[in-house]
């Protein structure tokens, strides 16, 4: 955020500074790969469980980072699994969950 306030939304300058050295390029690549992998996990696991509001952790990943997106998704997943298992117990369904 401080960089954006100082330089504005200059994408070409941001990329030039991010990849100005090998170590910073490696760090940014790690961040990008983590965000892409987490987004794929959120889609796959969220669809498998039939979760709603998957856009919220994905938005968190791309606005704040993996450090918010992953815990938020895991919280939403846990709440969904608890709600689903309570619903299954009330309806008498015997559903095996992994």
pLDDT tens, 1-56?
787 788 888 888 888 888 889 998 899 899 999 999 999 999 999 999 999 999 99
**CA separation for the pair 4, 11 (Å, rounded):** 10
Tokens of 41: 């996990």
- The answer to whether residue 91 scores a pLDDT higher than 80 is no
CB 70 within 8 A of CB 38: yes
pTM for the whole thing?
Answer: 0.76
List, in order, residues 6 or more apart from 41 with CB less than 8 Å away: 73
pLDDT (0 to 100) of residue 8: 85
What is the Cα–Cα distance from 65 to 28, expressed in whole angstroms? 12
């Amino acid at each position: 955020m401080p960089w954006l306030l100082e330089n504005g939304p200059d994408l070409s300058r941001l990329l030039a500074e991010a990849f100005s050295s090998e170590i910073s390029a490696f760090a940014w690549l790690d961040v990008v790969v983590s965000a892409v992998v987490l987004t794929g996990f959120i889609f796959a696991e969220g669809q498998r469980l039939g979760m709603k509001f998957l856009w919220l952790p994905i938005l968190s990943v791309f606005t704040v980072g993996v450090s918010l997106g992953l815990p938020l998704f895991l919280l939403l997943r846990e709440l969904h699994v608890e709600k689903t298992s309570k619903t299954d117990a009330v309806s008498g369904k015997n559903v095996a969950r992994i």
